[in-house]
Amino acid sequence: MSLPSSSSSSSHLTRSFLLSLLFTSIVASAFSDNEEAQIHHFQQYLRIRTAHPDPDYTAAASFLLSLAHFIGLQTLTLQFAPNKPLLLLTWPGSDPSLPSILLNSHIDSVPAEPDKWIHPPFSATRDPDTGRIYARGAQDDKCIAIQYLEAIRSLKRSGFSPLRSVHISLVPDEEIGGADGFEKLAQSEEFRKLNVGLVLDEGQASPSDEFRVFYADRSPWRLFVKATGSPGHGSRMYDGTAIEKLMVCAEAIARFRDSQFDMVKAGISPASEVISINPVYMKSGTPSPSGFVMNVQPSEAEMGFDLRLPPTVDPEQLKERINKEWVPSFKNMSYTLLQKGPIKDCNGKLLITLTNESNPWWPVFEKAVISSGKKLAKPEILSSTTDARFMREMGIPTFGFSPMANTPILLHDHNEFLKDEVFVKGIKVYESIISALSSFNLASSV
Ligand SMILES: [Zn+2]
């Protein structure tokens, strides 16, 4: 369903934009007035509380639409669930028949614990000495939404016009799985009409001076193991108790975990390219008013594990290992495996975006980053999961990229920040990327 978009607050935005210019011209700054305005827009967005469990999507949508109208973009507001607006902003290309570019960013963020922060997490306080802007969402991923918009504003002002259409999607609920956000958008008629050829989605900060780019996400699995056995007196040593069986299972899993982790420690594989498995809960024992009954060996025990599989791993081999080695059924053990999302895309291919010459978008993207004076690290698999998976599942090439070099990785952490100069440089990088990708004229190959 589509809702009409509102332009009532665009005049307010224009006013606040002019005020921000006035204010920043009084304060001495290493930044131009225009850059100060860009930083101000970023702070305004960060101050809107879009953290779960109660994200203020309405205020965020109103702010983003105002900015989009101010820049002169076409806007469409979709809503796949009540109070969860999803914005599609469009800069039409001169040849709209060409596959378009989609720049995606999620509006929501994870909660913050204010008492653990040096500045309130929704204040977007800018430290005058370091230039750090502290806020939940500063890195993940409100920065890219404003950078996309500001990059387009700069390109428009410079007189550039795209050959392909450029779209921005601003979506709710990524941090809680995207079921009412990008997942629904991906299935919609509105999305089909966009004729998307390439997507840029969020990446991660880079502590070095090289930008990081991600070509795949790991696939999350949940493993629930249950063991049953004979109950008995706590003093007796006998085989086949529930907890003893579960301990044998946990030891086998721990050995496998070590084998994977050793490759990371030895520098053979990045952490995102091995299978991670971590215990997340254990449940057993006979409760008593003061805790647990200590002289009874219980008849049931349960344990849960978080698994993450890189797309290059054969899932069948792992399932065989679970069946034969970790949870053999003859031992009176059972398991449930929850696979979140498919392992292959709609064409039966691995869920990865190629980062070589066989993907015609890649060299254009790579060259655009480098020509903006930046370095690009070897493409990586992202350890976690983002909305990018929905697009890769449809076979649409998707790069995870957030231009944050020389920045500690603070997503979901206390004191999340992004430096003002890193934010501003990122806009220039997107100007280079958006102009290159949107004027790239190899229609026959994509
Ligand atoms: Zn994110």
Q: What is the pLDDT of residue 332?
A: 87
Averaged pLDDT for residues 437-445: 73
Structure tokens at 430: 């997107």
Q: What is the pLDDT of residue 368?
A: 96
3-state class (DSSP) for residue 115: helix
Residue 346 lies in a domain: no
Q: What is the pLDDT of residue 154?
A: 98
Does residue 442 have a pLDDT over 80?
no
**82 φ/ψ sector (left φ>0, alpha ψ -120 to 50, else beta):** beta
Q: What is the DSSP letter of 229?
A: -
User: Rounded distance, CA 363 to CA 341, Å?
Assistant: 29
Inter-CA distances, 286 with 236, 250, 272, 341, Å: 17, 21, 39, 36
Averaged pLDDT for residues 414-441: 96
Which is more confidently placed, 311 or 442? 311
Structure tokens at 46: 């960060």
Numbered residues of the known binding site? 106, 140, 175, 202, 412
Q: Which residues are bridge partners to 77 per DSSP?
A: 3, 87
Q: Which residues are bridge partners to 418 per DSSP?
A: 133
Inter-CA distances, 395 with 120, 197, 444, Å: 41, 10, 17
Answer yes or no: do 139 and 173 share one domain.
yes
Helices (H), 56-157: 57-71, 142-157
Closest residue by Cα to residue 203 from 141, 277, 119, 161: 141
Ligand 1 centroid to residue 107 C-alpha, Å: 9
Answer yes or no: do 317 and 372 share one domain.
no
Which is more confidently placed, 444 or 214? 214
Structure tokens at 226: 């249950």
Render 237-278 in DSSP notation, one character per residue: --S--HHHHHHHHHHHHHHHHHHHHHHHHTTSS-GGGS-EEE
Structure tokens at 73: 């973009």
Residue 362 lies in a domain: yes
Ligand 1 centroid to residue 301 C-alpha, Å: 35
Q: Which of 277, 312, 339 is the last residue of a domain?
A: 339
Domain range enclosing 225: 220-339
Numbered residues of the known binding site for Zn(2+)? 106, 140, 175, 202, 412
Closest residue by Cα to residue 305 from 243, 256, 239: 256
Catalytic residue among 108, 180, 393, 431: 108
339 — pLDDT class (breaks 50, 70, 90): confident
Answer yes or no: do 335 and 409 share one domain.
no
User: Rounded distance, CA 1 to CA 188, Å?
Assistant: 10
Ligand 1 centroid to residue 104 C-alpha, Å: 10
Structure tokens at 150: 């500001």
Q: Are 391 and 120 in contact (CB under 8 A)?
A: no
Q: What is the pLDDT of residue 9?
A: 47
pTM value? 0.83
Structure tokens at 102: 């989609």
Inter-CA distances, 331 with 232, 303, 323, 415, Å: 18, 16, 11, 48
Averaged pLDDT for residues 117-137: 97
Number of domains in the chain: 2
Q: What is the pLDDT of residue 20?
A: 58
Answer yes or no: do 178 and 297 share one domain.
no
Mean pLDDT of the chain: 92
Q: What is the pLDDT of residue 8?
A: 45
Q: What is the pLDDT of residue 309?
A: 93
Does residue 181 have a pLDDT over 70?
yes
Structure tokens at 348: 């039966």
Answer yes or no: do 167 and 232 share one domain.
no
Answer yes or no: do 208 and 232 share one domain.
no
Averaged pLDDT for residues 182-209: 97
Averaged pLDDT for residues 142-164: 98
Ligand 1 centroid to residue 202 C-alpha, Å: 6
Catalytic residue among 141, 174, 201, 380: 174
Greatest Cα pair distance in the chain = 83
As residues whose CB is below 5 A from the ion ligand 1, the structure lists 140-141, 202
Q: What is the pLDDT of residue 12?
A: 57
Residue 266 lies in a domain: yes
Answer yes or no: do 202 and 230 share one domain.
no
1 — pLDDT class (breaks 50, 70, 90): very low
Does residue 355 have a pLDDT over 60?
yes
* pLDDT tens string 18-67: 555 555 545 557 899 999 999 999 999 999 999 999 999 999 999 999 99
Ligand 1 centroid to residue 174 C-alpha, Å: 7
121 — pLDDT class (breaks 50, 70, 90): very high
Q: Which residues are bridge partners to 78 per DSSP?
A: 2, 86
- Report the DSSP pairing between strands 2-3 and 74-79: antiparallel
Ligand 1 centroid to residue 375 C-alpha, Å: 23
CATH number at residue 70: 3.40.630.10
3-state class (DSSP) for residue 327: coil
Residue 332 lies in a domain: yes
* pLDDT tens string 369-387: 999 888 999 999 998 889 9
Q: What is the DSSP letter of 6?
A: P
Ligand 1 centroid to residue 218 C-alpha, Å: 14
Does residue 326 have a pLDDT over 60?
yes
Residue 108 known to be catalytic: yes
Q: Which of 339, 374, 390 is the last residue of a domain?
A: 339
Averaged pLDDT for residues 177-185: 96
Q: What percent of the chain has pLDDT over 90?
A: 85
Closest residue by Cα to residue 232 from 162, 299, 316, 293: 299
Answer yes or no: do 55 and 188 share one domain.
yes
Averaged pLDDT for residues 293-320: 94
Answer yes or no: do 224 and 208 share one domain.
no
Q: Which of 339, 369, 384 is the last residue of a domain?
A: 339
Residue 348 lies in a domain: no
Q: What is the pLDDT of residue 2?
A: 34
Answer yes or no: do 375 and 402 share one domain.
yes
Closest residue by Cα to residue 103 from 54, 33, 46, 155: 155
Lowest mean pLDDT among 23-37, 89-103, 429-443: 23-37
Answer yes or no: do 208 and 229 share one domain.
no
Does residue 186 have a pLDDT over 60?
yes
Averaged pLDDT for residues 122-136: 97
